[in-house]
Structures are given as structure tokens and as C-alpha cells.
Chains A and B, each alone.
Chain A
Amino acid sequence: MSNEWPLWEVFIRGQHGLNHRHVGSLHAPDSELAMRHARDVYTRRNEGVSIWVVPSSEITASAPSDKGPMFEPSNAKVYRHPTFYDIPDEVGHM
């Protein structure tokens, strides 16, 4: 439907989370109402302490059909994982 409100993506930082996480999407006529809808739809059970809303149209996404060239080259390149170093005990948890 052409007269539907634009789509927004909702990101919420949880009570103990450090990062905002994508939780879903919703329709709203502008950012102010998108924020309000996000509060009403996605924080009903006390899930969050901070909300971001982003117009879905502003997100550039990788195409599923490009999956091969995009991600397969990094497959099986174990030497890219920093697992070949000995970490001194004094460093503690990294």
C-alpha cells in the first residue's frame, strides 16, 4: 500500500547490555512517533534503557545473492584468528 507509513528499524540497549541490538521494525510517519511506537511496542516488559530508530530506507544492506563473493573468501583462513599467540598470565582476561 502506497499510503502506509514508512518503515523504521528499532535498536534497543537492554538493562545490562553494552550495545544497542536490532529488535525489529515498525511503521511510523516520522522519527518522533517512531520513537514513541518503539517504546510502546518493544519495551513493554522493561527491556530497555535506550532506543535508536533508523529509517529502514537509510540502511544499506548486503545482497543475499552476493553471499558467496562477500563471505566465502574469509572461510577457512584460520590464520586470521588471533589464536596463535601465547598470552602472558599477567594480562588476565581479554
Chain B
Amino acid sequence: MTPDAEALAKAAGGTGRAPLAADAPEMDLFTGLTRLGDNTLILGHRVSEWCGHSPVLEEDIALANMALDLIGQTQFWLGLAGEVEGQGRDADALAFRRDAWDFHNLLLVERPNGDFGQTLMRQFLFDAWHAPMLKALEGSSDARIAEIAVKAGKEVAYHIERSADLVIRLGDGTEESHARMQKALDRLWGFTGEMFIGDAVDARLAEAGIMPAPESLRAAWDETVNHVLAEATLTRPDGTFAHQGGKQGRHSEHMGHMLAPMQWLQRAYPDAKW
């Protein structure tokens, strides 16, 4: 007699659903959703590291607001990912109980904050991708994704307005601010290409009309970036080399150092509440 997997799982306190097969469509969806949610989680946490350390109070609060926006979006994306996975993991479980290799964020968002200029440049380069990404997701064939994208899109419209304005002001500012912004741009440039390189999962999600193909976002990003960099009197680097791997779980050495302070409480005191 074949054992009833569902009954066995229920008896063991499980959810009654077998783990997703590697080639199940839900597995692609889960991966796609964690890519979105991990981007906002990791960048949100990075930005939150400025809390209490910003150059001026007004920027401190503005950065904290943006970090909270991103963490809020994470709750939606990872919450939905957990639902799709069906193994009883919620957004918190996915955020705090996974190890570095299970995160699917872009390498760009895990880059350390550096100085204020580097933080702003990273934000701008990400926002210029994030806005058209959400715009495309508004037309997703999955209504749950479209709904989250509409809500997040309003927040991100403000993020890009703010980060583009500050990149222009600092790029076209003093000699020192210009030099710092150019240096930040040169340093981060190699991490932007990954946003537009798709893999098999991306291709299947695009085929199903669930998420846009990464390559399709390039033109909008180029347009924003070229326009803002020109106004900021910054020079767009020539390099086309792209560091890759974040989306597939291969992260830089910075990831573990970031996750340790972020996750230690839930790791040390699982299910702690306050």
C-alpha cells in the first residue's frame, strides 16, 4: 500500500502539502518572489543601518522612512512566497531563518553602505530599475503580484524622485561631492548588469506573463540613468562586465556579515515575540 503522504504530513504536524518539486511551476514563482522580496529586504536592512548616523536629522528620517517602505514591501513579497511554497513558512521565517545561499537578491543591494554618496548612488541605480520593474509587474498575469506592485509602485515613485534629485545635487555640487559620487558610480557600476541578465527561471516566468524578462527593463533604466548622470555632470562608466550570482544564491563576502546582526535574535531565540 502506498503511504498517504498528505495524512502522514498532517500527523507529523506539517501543512499537508508535499515540498515543491524543483521543476514545479510554483517553484519558479517562489524563486521569482524571493528575488523581489530579498532585494527589498536586503536593501531595506542596508538603508536602516544609517538610522542615527546620517549627516543630518532630516536625511536620517527620510532614509528610515524608505527602509521601512522596503521592509513593508518585503512582507508582501515574502509573505506571498511562503504561501506559494505551502510549507508553513511566513515572511519572518523566510527573512530570518534562511542562510545566505538561499537568498536571491541582486549583488548590488548587499554592497556595504560606504559613505553617504555611495548609499545614495546604490539607491538611485536600484530605484531606476525598481520603478519600471514594478510598472511591468502591475500587468502580471498573477493578480496577487499585480496588486502588490501597484501599492509598492507609489512608494518607489517617491524613492526614485528623491534619489535622482540627490544624485544630481551632489554630482553637480562641490568638487568633493562630485568626486565622491563619481567614485561611488565607478565602484557600483559592475553590479548593475545583473539586473538585466535572465536565467531559465526568469524565462519561464516571463513566458507565463507573471514577471517581465529582465532584459526588457534595460531601455527604461538606461534612459533614466543617462539623463540623471548627465544632469549630475557624472561620467557613465564604459565597463560592461557584470558581477553575477546573487539571484542564484551565490553572494559576496558581505552577505553573511550583514545577515548575522539581522538574524541573530530569531536564530538565538526562535519565535521570540515582544
Contact = CB atoms under 8 A, between A and B. Distances in A.
Interface stretch (A11-19, A33-41, A70-78, A80-88): A33-41
B58 A44 contact: no
Contact of B65 (A5, A27, A32, A44): A44
Given A27-B56, A27-B58, A41-B58, A36 B65 contact: no
A26 interface: yes
A20 B56 CA distance: 26
Contacts of A37: 58, 62
Contacts, number: 24
Contacts of A44: 61, 65
Interface in B111-155: none
Interface string B62-80: 1001000000000000000
A28 interface: yes
B56 A41 contact: no
Nearest to B166: A33
B89 interface: no
A36 B58 CA distance: 9
- Is chain A's interface secondary structure helix, strand, loop, or mixed overall? helix
A28 B65 contact: no
B56 A36 contact: no
B65 A40 contact: yes
B243 interface: no
Contacts of A32: 165
B204 interface: no
Interface string A23-63: 00011100011001100110010000000000000000000
Contacts of A26: 57-58
Given A5-B56, A27-B56, A41 B61 contact: yes
Given A5-B56, A27-B56, A36 B61 contact: no
Nearest to A26: B58
A37 B54 CA distance: 14
Contacts of B57: 26-27, 41
B218 interface: no
Nearest to A34: B58
B250 interface: no
A24 B135 CA distance: 36
Contacts of A27: 56-58
Interface string B222-265: 00000000000000000000000000000000000000000000
A79 to B, nearest CB: 48
B52 to A, nearest CB: 15
B97 interface: no
Nearest to A36: B162
Interface in B22-69: 56-58, 61-62, 65
Nearest to B56: A27
Interface of B: 56-58, 61-62, 65, 162, 165
Given A27-B56, A37-B62, 13 more contacts: A5-B56, A26-B58, A27-B58, A28-B58, A33-B165, A36-B162, A37-B58, A40-B58, A40-B61, A40-B62, A41-B57, A41-B61, A44-B61
Interface of A: 5, 26-28, 32-33, 36-37, 40-41, 44
10 contacts: A5-B56, A27-B56, A32-B165, A36-B62, A40-B58, A40-B61, A40-B65, A41-B61, A44-B61, A44-B65
A-B complex: 3 closest residue pairs judged by Cβ atoms: A40-B62, A37-B58, A41-B61
